[in-house]
Structure 1
Amino acid sequence: MRKSRQDSLYSQQYIMEALDQLLEENHLEDITITEICKKAGVARVTFYKYYHTIYDVLNASVEVSIKSAIEQLSNINPQDNIQDVLADIIARIAASPTSLQRQINSNTHGVVLEYFVHAISRLSQADTVFTKKLNQAEVLFIAGGMFSIITHWFKNDLQESPQSVAAMITDVLPSSALKQ
């Protein structure tokens, strides 16, 4: 990887990490770009090179987490138990919930829902989880349901285990659409 590309990725990562750290102590609306830059050790011009607003940073942070989950789901073996796979992904989300929790609390979680829709759509086409390519209504229904269950879980301070949440999700998935 070229040094400039690597520096770019590091800068973006530092900015996302700085926002996550600041969100542990402050409300999103109380954080300034100047504070993020100072905490990240980058100039404001660097911030604006990659992001327009603090919400863009928040969205990018969630996108990184969701892309990782999508990648993991896209690579599963059709013989794997979908509930176990979901439990593993949910456990990873629970291990570092800051970004997703912030999206939910700041009422900008529509972005996360769009990633769920994208993930289910990709899984439908990957031929690893579902028996057929889902139509748009099915994708929206499944993604919305999963998203609602996970949002509810976050709002209840992650009280249930990842295995319980995965069981809730798989219980409501249409069995006719899932590979057995």
Structure 2
Amino acid sequence: MNKANYSKQQITEALIDLLQKTSIEDITITSLVTKAHVSRNAFYNNYQSVEDVLKEAYRQAHQKAFQNKYIDISYFTSDEAILDFIQFFDKNTALLLALQKWNLLPYIAKYNTHCILNSLEQSNNPFIHQYKEYFMIYHTIPYFQICYYWILSDKKETPQELFQMIKQLQKQS
């Protein structure tokens, strides 16, 4: 890993770690570079603001959770996808709440849409290919919204209870 990528990785990991213990309002560039063990120059060589680090941290977390899973269309209709959404929200609660506080939910939506639509573009199914936006909305937005509400509600249910509730909602439809 080259020095620039190493610095970026250190900074994003430091931000995620700080978010577990500190309010986003209290995170400064100084506290971030101190935690990351990098210089301010390393920070400004890679980012312009904490907002940029939040976006990068989200991209990395999303890629880690969903990398190569969108390739198979059947993934979107599987229990694995539901469980992955729940696990992603459970593991990244602080990051997602920080993104909300910085009004970056539109960024998340745009990023997620881009990733999923690129994957669906490869579909051999003519119906899915023609209506990929509707397919994406139908199969991902409800899970995202439910999981988002779950973290806003302080995760009153366990991840397994949330999964069972989603499955029950599917049966009720």
Question: Do the structures match in fold with TM over 0.5?
Answer: yes
Confirm or deny: 8 A CA contact 1:14 1:40 kept in the other structure: yes
Of 85, 97, 104 in structure 1, the residue corresponding to residue 100 of structure 2 is 104
Q: Aligned with 1:133: secondary structure? A: helix
Q: Report the TM-score, using the length of structure 2 for normalisation.
A: 0.75
Q: List structure 1 segments (4+ residues) > 6 angstroms apart after TM superposition.
A: none
Q: Aligned with 1:127: secondary structure? A: coil
Confirm or deny: 8 A CA contact 2:82 2:143 kept in the other structure: no
- Counterpart of 2:150 in structure 1 is 153
Q: Are residues 1:63 and 2:49 paired?
A: no
C-alpha distance in 2 between matches for 1:79 and 1:150: 18
Counterparts of 1:78-93 in structure 2 under 5 Å?
78=74, 82-93=78-89
Q: Are residues 1:33 and 2:25 paired?
A: no
Q: Report the TM-score, using the length of structure 1 for normalisation.
A: 0.73
C-alpha distance in 2 between matches for 1:96 and 1:52: 23
C-alpha distance in 1 between matches for 2:78 and 2:137: 18
Structure 2, unaligned runs of 5 or more: none
Of Structure 1 and Structure 2, the greater helix share is in 2
Q: What number of residue pairs does the alignment pair up?
A: 169
C-alpha distance in 1 between matches for 2:93 and 2:65: 13
Taking a change above 3 Å as real, the CA distance of residues 38 and 136 of structure 1, as seen in their structure-2 partners, is same
Q: Aligned with 2:128: secondary structure? A: coil
Q: Aligned with 1:159: secondary structure? A: coil
Question: Identity over the aligned pairs, expressed in percent?
Answer: 24
Q: CA deviation at 1:167?
A: 6.5
